[in-house]
């Protein structure tokens, strides 16, 4: 047995089930991801636009709205059945409250940026991940609202990253750039 075969005898590849391949890798269903992308993109753009145009998020009083939100979250960390976990309250106290202006700008422009990426189908899987990260932070901070629904939609967008941007810029950009494990046309030697 060659050394290469010895190394591979412990490697197991589990094929993707047909249903999973259809839902997350088949361009025939890309229109579903387009609808979901437009919904998420719209929600993020509206939320970000409101914050970018608020002096309490990005203007002369940047950080005021975020500070109020964080202090409200800290109140939810008390009691017998807290809505905010102790470790997250510690993160709010130790980090977030000391950098409210920076985080306030990151949140406002980040929401807008995520929305634009999703709307145009550009780096759709990454945009889905960033949106899910933001939604999880809102959930950890004790704010339910629309966050669970958006998080669930973003998980599906992440799973369908290969075709979620098919009706968008990813259709042209992904073959050009490729992935870290498979370089695209722009990086292939000619």
Model confidence pTM above 0.95? no
Domain region containing 92: 42-166
Task: Please give the Cα distance from 154 to 131 (Å, whole number).
Answer: 7
Q: What integer pLDDT is reported at residue 11 of this predicted model?
A: 81
In the chain, how many domains are there? Answer: 1
Residue with the bigger pLDDT between 9 and 61: it is 61
Tell me if 91 is assigned to some domain: yes
Tell me if 129 is assigned to some domain: yes
Task: Please give the Cα distance from 83 to 151 (Å, whole number).
Answer: 18
Tell me if 35 is assigned to some domain: no
What is the per-residue burial (b if ≥16 Cβ within 10 Å, else e) of 118-139?
bbbbbbbbebbbbbbebbebbb
Tell me if 187 is assigned to some domain: no
Residues 6+ apart with CB under 8 A from 114: 41, 44, 48, 127, 130, 131, 134
pLDDT above 70 for 1 = no
pLDDT bin (cut points 50, 70, 90) of residue 10 is: confident
Tell me if 112 is assigned to some domain: yes
Cβ atoms 113, 140 nearer than 8 A: no
Tell me if 133 is assigned to some domain: yes
pLDDT tens-digit map of 121-176: 999 999 999 999 999 999 999 999 999 999 999 999 999 999 999 999 999 999 99
């Amino acid at each position: 047995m060659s050394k290469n075969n010895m190394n591979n005898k412990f490697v197991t590849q589990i094929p993707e089930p047909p249903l999973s391949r259809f839902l997350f890798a088949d361009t025939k269903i890309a229109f579903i991801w387009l609808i979901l992308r437009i919904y998420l993109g719209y929600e993020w753009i509206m939320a970000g636009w409101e914050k970018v145009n608020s002096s309490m998020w990005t203007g002369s009083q940047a950080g005021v709205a975020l500070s109020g939100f964080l202090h409200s979250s800290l109140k939810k960390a008390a009691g017998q059945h807290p809505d905010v976990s102790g470790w997250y309250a510690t993160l709010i106290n130790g980090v977030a409250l000391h950098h409210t202006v920076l985080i306030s700008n990151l949140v406002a422009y980040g929401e807008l940026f995520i929305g634009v990426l999703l709307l145009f189908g550009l780096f759709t899987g990454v945009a889905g991940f960033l949106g899910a990260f933001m939604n999880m932070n809102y959930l950890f901070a004790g704010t339910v609202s629309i966050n669970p629904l958006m998080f669930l939609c973003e998980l599906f967008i992440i799973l369908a990253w290969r075709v979620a941007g098919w009706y968008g810029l990813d259709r042209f950009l992904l073959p050009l750039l490729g992935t870290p494990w498979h370089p695209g046309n722009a990086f292939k030697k000619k």
